[in-house]
Amino acid sequence: MTKLKTFLAPVGRGLVKLGKALMLPIAVLPIAGLLLRLGQPDLLNIAFMAAAGQAVFSNLPIIFALGVAIGFAEENHGAAALAAYVGYVILTSSLKVLDPSIDMGVLGGIIIGVTAGLLYNKYKNIRLPSYLAFFGGRRFVPIVTGAASLLIAGAAYFVWPPIARVIAAFGDWTITSGNIGLFFYGFANRLLIPLGLHHILNNLVWFQFGEFEVVKEGVATIMRGDLTRFFAGDPMAGPFMAGFFPIMMFGLPAACLAMISAAKTARKKAIGGLLLSMALTSFLTGITEPIEFSFMFLAFPLYVLHSLLTGLSMVIMNVLEVKLGFTFSAGLFDYLLSYGLGKNGLWLLPVGAVYGLLYYVLFKWAIVKFNLQTPGREPEEFNQEADMPLSVPAGKDEKEQAAPAAEPSCQAQTSSVPAPDDHSRAAEYLRGLGGKDNIKTIDACATRLRLEVADDSVVNAPALKACGARGVIKAGGGAVQVIIGPEADLISDEIKKYLK
pLDDT at 148: 97
pLDDT exceeds cutoff 50 at 229: yes
Instruction: Identify which has the larger pLDDT, 305 or 420.
Output: 305
Q: Strand, helix or coil at 372?
A: coil
pLDDT at 380: 53
Assigned fold of 383-499: Gyrase A; domain 2 (3.30.1360)
Instruction: Mark out the alpha helices in 247-338 (DSSP H runs).
Output: 252-262, 268-285, 289-295, 300-319, 332-338
Q: Which amino acid is at 320?
A: L
**Cα(273)–Cα(254) distance, rounded to whole angstroms?**
14
pLDDT at 405: 40
Q: Which amino acid is at 117?
A: G
pLDDT at 92: 96
pLDDT at 452: 87
pLDDT exceeds cutoff 90 at 226: yes
Domain boundaries along the sequence of the chain: 10-174, 177-378, 383-499
Q: What is the DSSP string of 177-213?
A: TTHHHHHHHHHHHHHTGGGT-HHHHHHHHHHTSSEEE
Name the nearest CA neighbour of 74 among 491, 494, 442, 460: 442
pLDDT at 3: 61
Poorest-pLDDT segment among 48-62, 122-136, 379-393, 441-455? 379-393
Averaged pLDDT score across all residues of the chain: 85
pTM above 0.75, yes or no: no
pLDDT exceeds cutoff 80 at 99: yes
Mean pLDDT of 283-287: 91
Q: Which residues are catalytic?
A: 445
Mean pLDDT of 373-388: 56
Mean pLDDT of 241-253: 97
Tally Cβ neighbours within 10 Å of residue 250: 25
- Give the pLDDT confidence of 69-78 residue by residue, as tens digits: 998 998 889 9
pLDDT at 12: 64
pLDDT at 153: 97
pLDDT at 216: 79
pLDDT at 382: 42
Mean pLDDT of 33-62: 88
pLDDT exceeds cutoff 90 at 29: no
Helix axes 29-38, 47-58, angle to 10 degrees: 150
Q: What is the DSSP string of 147-174?
A: HHHHHHHHHHHHHHHHHHHHHHHHHHHH
pLDDT at 383: 41
